[in-house]
Each structure stands twice: as structure tokens, then as C-alpha cells.
């Protein structure tokens, strides 16, 4: 069985196994973002949330409010994966 690209990066995430802690409300979101600092797959995580319009939680160091603002400001971007991580390489 082959892992998809999404599963590949999630296995390297610094937050692996901490899902509940990454979906806080209000002020606690800023604390949750600290987990993302220094994560080796932060860009992939953020691209996943932006490309799929994920509305909840902290992804790639950004809260849902920050991601919504970025999406409103950059309506010209069709693939955040390409912008943040470069083109996908075929295996």
C-alpha cells in the first residue's frame, strides 16, 4: 500500500497526535501556533488548509481568521501547494 502525499507530510508533523490541542478557541489559538514553529512540514500543512478551505483549527501556524484574511487578499492564487511548496514531484 502506498501512502498519499498528504499522509507523507502528516507523518512528519511536529503536532502529530495532538489534534485536539490544535482546535482551541480564542486566545488559546495563539498558544497552539507555537507548536508549528520549527515544524518541518509547516508549509505543506498551511497549503493543505488553504487549498481545501479548512475553516477550523491552527494549520501551518495560522488561525482560521488569519487564513480567511489571506484567502481574501490573494484571490489570484489557485494552488497554495505550488506557491508554498513548489510543484509536486511524481514518484
Vertex 62, ends 6 and 79: CA angle to 5°?
Answer: 50
Vertex 32, ends 26 and 51: CA angle to 5°?
Answer: 90
Q: For position 1, what pLDDT does the model report?
A: 36
Q: Is the pLDDT of residue 6 over 60?
A: no
| Residue 1 falls inside a structural domain | no
Q: For position 50, what pLDDT does the model report?
A: 97
Distance of alpha carbon 21 from alpha carbon 24, whole angstroms: 6
| Residue 89 falls inside a structural domain | no
| Residue 91 falls inside a structural domain | no
Distance of alpha carbon 8 from alpha carbon 21, whole angstroms: 21
Q: For position 2, what pLDDT does the model report?
A: 39
| Residue 3 falls inside a structural domain | no
* Angstrom distances, CA of residue 57 to CA of 1, 60, 66, 79: 30, 10, 11, 20
pLDDT digits (tens, 9 = 90+) for 17-75: 887 777 777 778 878 888 899 899 999 999 999 999 998 889 999 999 999 999 999 99
Vertex 50, ends 80 and 33: CA angle to 5°?
Answer: 115
> How many domains are there within the chain?
1
> Taking the alpha carbons of 69, 75, 78, 79 in that order, is the dihedral positive or negative?
negative
Q: For position 89, what pLDDT does the model report?
A: 57
| Residue 39 falls inside a structural domain | yes
Question: Is residue 85 part of an annotated ligand binding site?
Answer: no
Confidence label for 4 from pLDDT (cuts 50, 70 and 90): very low
| Residue 88 falls inside a structural domain | no
| Residue 61 falls inside a structural domain | yes
Whole domain around residue 36: which residue ranges?
23-80
Amino acid at each position: 500500500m502506498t501512502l498519499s502525499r498528504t499522509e507523507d507530510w502528516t507523518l512528519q508533523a511536529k503536532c502529530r497526535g495532538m489534534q485536539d490541542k490544535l482546535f482551541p478557541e480564542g486566545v488559546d489559538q495563539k498558544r497552539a501556533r507555537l507548536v508549528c514553529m520549527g515544524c518541518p512540514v509547516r508549509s505543506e500543512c498551511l497549503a493543505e488548509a488553504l487549498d481545501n478551505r479548512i475553516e477550523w483549527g491552527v494549520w501551518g501556524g495560522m488561525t482560521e481568521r488569519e487564513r480567511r484574511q489571506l484567502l481574501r487578499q490573494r484571490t489570484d492564487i489557485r494552488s497554495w501547494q505550488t506557491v508554498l511548496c513548489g510543484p509536486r514531484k511524481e514518484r
